[in-house]
Amino acid sequence: MTVSLGVWARPIDRAGLDYVIEAERLGVSSAWVAEAWGFDALTPLAAAATVTERIRLGSAIAQLGTRTPAMLAMTAMSLQHLSEGRFVLGVGTSGPQVMEGWHGVAFDRPVTRTRETIEILRRVTSGERLSYDGDVYQLPLPDSQGRAIRSMASPVEVPIYIASLGPRNLRLTGAAADGWIGNSFFCETADVFFDEIRAGADEAGRSFDELDLTVSVSVEITDDVEEAGRRHASGFAFTFGAMGSASTNFYNRAFARQGWGDDVAEVQRLWLEGDRQAAAARVPIEIGLRTNLIGPPDEIRRRLREYRDCGVTTLRIGPMGDTLDASLDGLGQLVELVDEINRDDPDPDPDPGDDTDTAEPTGASR
């Protein structure tokens, strides 16, 4: 089993496009664009598609409910044609603060909305005439002049990944998606996520091994592990305190299911009381160290093996410097380390008569 490497990208200007171009040159397998309340995820991917040839291009994520399922399908089909088959549609429901505060869309039935959107997407992209009777979506609209129509675009396959943290959504990922967009992840408690995804796949008669299991990490190659770990840990104060409301924070729940409930609750309390400095200091350094790749090359190599061995197939990493040159230097080092661990011989007692080279390149996944 091997692990592939993806990068977080912002191809909204020349420097952002150059980063994706150079990442492709270095052998990185995928580039991912986020969507919050700034730039959208899909337009930059169209720009990246025109200047690259091999790297896969994914949204992580396109927020569900901000576009109709048919509009999302149309955009996905356009991107798949522009990229000549390299586009991956990563979707997720975001949260009530963004959906209701920024988009003015009710945050209700998120798992049902995700399932129905995917079913509609599959119908549109496969060339079916669109008729759908769901709990969230009814197409054509009942008691209207609408009619069931078929896309004018040629059918095209669009891989769909789900960003999921809760048990029900994780099971849906296993049942309906081609991959998982994960975060808040510790190798030691991978089963918190993977057991649910596997159960969903089993229930749907699918193979868990066919899914691309992607996890987001930051990477810092450094000898000062203590300082870097503390700095990365402090950054989680915003996640625990502000990425959700006092009652609804999906990241906090995911950390709690992995044994960090008391720590997360205290960080959130301090943040909501306005003491952001104390909140940052209260985040355990272990969270910064164990959710990221931090340390000298030998430590990075060891942690890469942990991700690979626990079942992660793709790591999505952020820029490793403040400038393009610094980011590419760091990325080049990381590509070499990933290639090294992918060449590890999984057989502890190889046949001495077999000298076949079975190593796969960085872009391969299980």
Letter string b/e over residues 213-226, b meaning 16 or more CB atoms within 10 A of that residue's CB: bbbbbbbbbeeebe
173-183 residue pLDDT tens: 999 999 999 99
Arithmetic mean of pLDDT, 115-136: 98
Burial 237-262 (b: 16+ CB within 10 A, else e): bebbbebbeeeebbbbbbbbbbebee
Helix axes 225-242, 261-272, angle to 10 degrees: 70
Measured over the CA atoms of residue 29, residue 289, residue 181 and residue 67, the dihedral's sign is: negative
Residue 97 is predicted with a pLDDT of 87
CB atoms under 10 Å from CB of 53, counted, come to 10
Q: Where are the domains of the chain?
A: 4-222+296-339, 223-295
Chain segment 132-149, per-residue pLDDT in tens: 999 999 999 999 999 999
Alpha carbon distance 164, 147 (integer Å):
33
As a whole number of angstroms, the distance between CA 199 and CA 256 comes to 21
pLDDT tens digits, one per residue of 39-71: 999 999 999 999 999 999 999 999 999 999 999
pLDDT digits (tens, 9 = 90+) for 271-308: 999 999 999 999 999 999 999 999 999 999 999 999 99
> Does the global pTM surpass 0.75?
yes
CATH superfamily of 4-222+296-339: Luciferase-like domain (3.20.20.30)
> Token pair of 364, please?
């391969």
Coarse DSSP helix, strand, coil percentages of the chain, rounded to the nearest 5 percent: 45, 15, 40
Kindly indicate the confidence band of residue 346, based on its pLDDT and cuts at 50, 70 and 90: low
